[in-house]
Chains A and B, each alone.
Chain A
């Protein structure tokens, strides 16, 4: 049983870390800030949750603390991304040329 949990934990960790790598790739390849934020937040959230779950499988006694870190990240990661995206948009950080429409800029056309 412990053997099985070790393997399961290892697989979860490897899968999570793979998503972290995809996040890094997205961060490098995406054409503008907003797409980079998207690549950065989602992948690191799931990636970290999977790694923490994997660690919990191997060391069940750390479970509560790992759950706490996971919950904290689940709440703060999207929040910091949103605040950053908003700050960038208010600062007129340019969007990629392929952007189809920006309703936010349209609605706030006059203001700076």
Chain B
């Protein structure tokens, strides 16, 4: 039962990932792509957490945390760039 629900969760999150990916490719502005990228990373963090559960490896959570940290910095950096502040 729990395994089924994990699979269902992964499928739903995967659907969200694909839709965000469409927006990432479609644009139309650079800012739209950054928003899509932000959503993609957050969904990836969820998927990493689900993978950690499925494989029983807690170390994946460290990957998720570092990923969250770096993507946050990345989005902030791109936003500053868009503002023309560099």
B-binding residues in A (CB < 8 A):
6-7, 9-11, 13-14, 16-18, 20-25, 27-28, 33, 36-37, 40, 44-45, 47-48, 51-52, 54-55, 58-59, 61-62, 65-66, 68-69, 72-73, 76-77, 79-81, 83-84, 86-88, 90-91, 93
Since A21-B13, A21-B15, A23-B39 are in contact, a sample of 16 more A-B pairs with Cβ atoms closer than 8 Å, ordered by chain A residue number, is A13-B50, A17-B46, A23-B20, A23-B43, A24-B16, A25-B16, A27-B39, A44-B39, A51-B50, A54-B9, A55-B52, A55-B53, A65-B58, A72-B68, A73-B42, A84-B31
The answer to whether A59 touches B53 (Cβ under 8 A) is yes
Classify chain B's interface size.
35 or more
The answer to whether B46 touches A47 (Cβ under 8 A) is yes
B1-23: CB near A (< 8 Å → 1, else 0) gives 11011101111110111111011
